[in-house]
């Protein structure tokens, strides 16, 4: 059970997962930008970096939720 105004185990676990998702998004953005630099000779402009980091973090979170779901009990 999560307790208000305390850093209990549930809160710390949620904070840790959040940090991992953010790091995953930053790493994905870094890799994507460097691949663009290697392939095309230019990367993502600095003004768009916050947006690309947000999108990459969302992609990591979406992938995590996609994998996390339960298997259906019936076959389609």
- CA dist 36 and 26 (Å) reads 15
Quick check: is 4 in a domain?
Answer: no
pTM for this entry: 0.75
Q: Say what angle helices 9-40 and 49-68 make with each other, to 10 degrees.
A: 120
Burial class (CB in 10 A: 0-12, 13-18, 19+), 60: buried
The verdict on residue 43 lying in a domain is: yes
- Print pLDDT tens along the chain (76 aa): 888 999 999 999 999 999 999 999 999 999 999 999 999 988 888 899 899 999 999 999 999 888 887 777 776 6
pLDDT at 74: 75
Domain that holds residue 53: 20-66
- Residue 56 · residue 32 · CB < 8 Å: yes
Q: Is residue 57 part of a domain?
A: yes
Q: Does 6 reside within a domain?
A: no
Give pLDDT, residue 75: 65
Whether 9 is in a domain gets the answer no
Number of domains into which the chain is organized = 1
Assigned domain for 60 exists: yes
In a domain, 27, yes or no: yes
């Amino acid at each position: 059970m999560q307790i208000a105004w305390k850093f209990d185990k549930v809160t710390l676990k949620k904070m840790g997962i959040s940090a991992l998702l953010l790091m995953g998004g930053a790493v994905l953005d870094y890799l994507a930008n460097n691949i663009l630099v290697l392939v095309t000779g230019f990367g993502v402009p600095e003004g768009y970096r916050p947006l690309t980091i947000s999108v990459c973090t969302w992609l990591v979170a979406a992938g995590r939720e996609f994998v996390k779901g339960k298997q259906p009990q019936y076959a389609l």
